[in-house]
Amino acid sequence: MSLLIARGVTIRLGGRTLLDAADLTIDPGRRVGLVGRNGAGKSTLLKAIAGELAIDDGEIRLAARARLGQVRQEAPEGERSLVEIVLEGDQERLALLAEIDTAAPERLAEIHERLLTIDADSAPARAATILAGLGFDVTAQARPINSFSGGWRMRVALATALFAAPDLLLLDEPTNHLDLEATLWLETWLQKFPGAAIVVSHDRGLLDRCVDSIAHLDRGKISVTPGGYDEFVRIRTERAAQQAAAAARITAQKAHMQAYVDRFRYKASKARQAQSRLKAIAKLPPVEAALEDHVTRFNFPEPAQLAPPILTMDKVAVGYGGPPVLRGISLRVDMEDRIAMLGANGNGKSTLAKLIAGRLAPESGRMHRSGKLRVGYFAQHQSDELVPNDTPIDHMARALPRALPMQVRSQLARFGLDADRATTPVKNCSGGEKARLLLALATRDAPQLLILDEPTNHLDIDAREALVRALADFEGAVLLITHDPHLVDLIADTLWLVADGTVAPFDGDLDDYRALLTERARPAPKADAGNKRDERRERADARAAVAPLRKKARDAEARIAKLTAERKRLEARLADPDLYTPSRKGEVAAAQSTLAALKRQLAAAETEWLAAEEALEAASA
């Protein structure tokens, strides 16, 4: 029996049809990822399922006695502690506990039996576990909700929805207020969740690991594909290719028959055959070429090259006037670096970003930056600094006072803000459009160092992939703070761990960090404390043993990327016909010699990388 049936659902808002006779069925225990472009109607559909929005046509039916859970858009408030708020998420438990004092003797047995069935005694411990997974330690769990910022309160709202253990859980961008650590915890929780779920997310890693099918909302219709997001992309690509091939075949068939008709329709001996062809053309299926979505593209300005290092820190401490938030920082940044910062929210990642961006001065230690270094700094909170009634063109013109109107529009166009979007007041722009504007503003001076603090929170999947492609082509350094593991995996080749009041390189990749978090979260019996310490020491020693191999592989991979880029530039130069003139014979010979040397260096780097990977694999076996 299905848990949820949505049949022929039509929803119109503001004169626009978001859902047009759409169908969706959710069976018990199924986890569905709901995807689609920004503004397609995903959040609207969730509101309709929750009964918060009336539909114009069709029906939405939830199974009898099925419990629905969702994250409320309003952050909880008041003086209650976090644990108290989360415990209120299970209304049945609260009602049964309240009834005990007034229940008749014959009813008491039923109440206690039901409390036993729903495991009411363990509720406080379960609530505390969920809160801990979302970043609240024991002390924080006892604090009143009003002592937390809006983002942290939304985490409590998420914890309340998870604690209720509903039959159907509705999650709308659940990772937006989470750091990487809490995102990894949520993925693990969802994988074990026995109920059904509809998850709206632009985090393709979460969609690949936590759902068993993808519901694609596009042009008012919903199509369901089994598997995670990668499988959805593969199937969708294949369908588009088949549709395009079928359209081409039908078009060619029509053209062939129409040519016969045009040639013989007025010839008496061929009139009957011509009429037959006309009828055959009419019976051919309509041509439905694959509808290609507009491809989102971002493009960072090319920075001027600087000699390494572009920035160094030696025993630096930084804070806000009181005790330092971070101390003992000794790190360097080079032009080709791709760095992701790890560490729970509140540990100082944004503080470090502000220090490197020049928004905070070091309180002690030495910090040196190249005299020509330009830094582009992107942070989500900067959207609050935008002027609501001004357009993106107004903002960019102020940021580039000497630029011509065409140059202003060109910088906005780098991030998909076309003519219509560029002239739309910011108050009418979506979160994704504001994020694009902030990216355009942050990179207006072609910075050599780009600091991105949660750049993907309001970007849809296509825009996130466009950001990945643009960062891959960017020739400067990137410092990344994000809760998106997919972005870290694709962009970062160096990880910095911000923890315990300092920052240090993390020897390992994101999988190693996941394992470290899992290890820390696993409780150990006191009697086995000595053995656990030994096991942890052994694992730490094992990580340390392979760390040089990992570094060797990463260094070789970075060299391969650099040499490949140099080879491509040189090959493009050698492909230029203007180079082959009698007066430039020397340049040609020198370029060919350099190309040969590059190919030898590239082969050596590839051999080194392969050897390091094989050694790593052997060490991990």
pLDDT one-digit tens code per residue, 58-84: 999 999 888 898 887 667 888 889 999
Q: What is the rounded average pLDDT of the residues 16-41?
A: 90
Q: Strand runs (DSSP E) across 118-195, as ranges?
A: 168-172
Strands 168-172, 68-70: pairing is parallel
Measured distance CA(459)–CA(330) in Å, rounded: 34
Cα 196 to Cα 90, 336, 422, distances in angstroms: 17, 44, 41
**Does 582 sit behind a cis peptide bond, omega within 30 degrees of 0 on the bond before it?**
no
Higher pLDDT, 214 or 38: 214
Q: What is the rounded average pLDDT of the residues 294-320?
A: 89
**Which of the residue ranges 156-165, 175-184, 273-282, 311-320 would you say has the lowest mean pLDDT?**
273-282
The three-state secondary structure class of 86 is: helix
Dihedral (C-alpha) 153, 159, 160, 166: value to the nearest 10 degrees? 150
Higher pLDDT, 284 or 220: 220
DSSP class of 268:
G
- Residue bearing tokens 């609260």: 94
**Which of the residue ranges 38-52, 465-479, 555-569 would you say has the lowest mean pLDDT?**
555-569
R_g of the chain computed on alpha carbons: 30
Measured distance CA(605)–CA(621) in Å, rounded: 24
Strands 326-333, 311-318: pairing is antiparallel
Cα 152 to Cα 76, 203, 230, 574, 591, distances in angstroms: 10, 20, 31, 56, 57
DSSP class of 149:
-
What proportion of the chain, given as a percentage, has pLDDT over 90? 35
**pLDDT value of residue 412:** 93
3 state SS for 294-350: CCCCCCCCCCCCCCCCCEEEEEEEECCCCCCCEEEEEEEECCCCEEEEECCCCCCHH
Higher pLDDT, 30 or 137: 30
Beta-carbon count within 10 A of 80 CB: 16
Q: What is the rounded average pLDDT of the residues 605-613?
A: 77
Measured distance CA(235)–CA(214) in Å, rounded: 11
**Which of the residue ranges 242-256, 293-307, 321-335 would you say has the lowest mean pLDDT?**
242-256
pLDDT band at 204 (very low <50, low <70, confident <90, very high): confident
| Cα dihedral 561, 562, 568, 571 sign | negative
Q: How many residues does the chain have?
A: 621
Q: What is the rounded average pLDDT of the residues 207-212?
A: 92
Asked whether residue 98 carries a pLDDT value surpassing 60, the answer given is yes
Higher pLDDT, 430 or 24: 24
Measured distance CA(495)–CA(342) in Å, rounded: 7
**pLDDT value of residue 205:** 83
Please, are residues 191 and 197 in contact by the beta-carbon 8 Å criterion? no
pLDDT band at 290 (very low <50, low <70, confident <90, very high): very low
Asked whether residue 268 carries a pLDDT value surpassing 80, the answer given is no
What are the pLDDT digits (tens) for 594-604? Answer: 888 888 888 88
What are the pLDDT digits (tens) for 426-462? Answer: 888 877 888 899 999 999 999 999 999 988 887 878 8
- Residue bearing tokens 């002027």: 387
Q: Tell me the two tokens of residue 126.
A: 């379960």
**pLDDT value of residue 294:** 55
Q: Tell me the two tokens of residue 467.
A: 């950001």
Asked whether residue 387 carries a pLDDT value surpassing 80, the answer given is yes
